[in-house]
Every structure is written in structure tokens, then in C-alpha cells.
Amino acid sequence: MCDYSLHMVRTRPAKVGEKIITRDFGTGTRGFAAPEDCSVAVCLLPGTELAFEKPVKYQATLMFSSQYRPHRCDLSPDQQGRA
């Protein structure tokens, strides 16, 4: 599922097992893209599960500077039993 703000960007659905990166498409939001073609937004279907190679971080922008902050993703109790 792609954000409505990516309506001016070419999109395609994600593929199973595909590695994706985050990218600023210049539309006021960020989205996912494949490393080999960063001009196309990769859309995730509802219910898609993601696995991360590194701990998740988000970028907080403050007036004239930005910094990366760690973010923890926890599983809800009903997901903890699934592998």
C-alpha cells in the first residue's frame, strides 16, 4: 500500500523476499524503493510482515538540524508465538 502523497511517483507491488530501502521521493513523505531502481516506489500490501537487518531508527528533524534516534519494534502478545 503506498501513501497517497506518492500518487505522482511510479509504483509497483513488493515481491516476496525482496530487500527494500527507504527513500525521500520529494513528495513530502518517504517510501520504500528497491536499491536497483530508486525512482519507483515499492508498495506493501496490508498485512505484509517486514524483517530488519539492523535496529530500526527514525529521523527527527528540528528546525535546522536532524538526528537519527533508535526506535524499538515490539511484537504484540498475539504475534509473539509466531516465527
Q: What is the amino acid identity at position 56?
A: V
Ramachandran assignment for 27, one of left (phi > 0), alpha (psi -120 to 50 degrees), beta (any other) = alpha
* pLDDT beyond 70 at 82: no
Please report, to the nearest 10 degrees, the dihedral formed by the alpha carbons of residues 43, 20, 30, 5 taken in order. -20
pLDDT in tens, 21-57: 989 888 887 889 999 999 999 998 888 888 888 887 7
pTM exceeds cut of 0.85: no
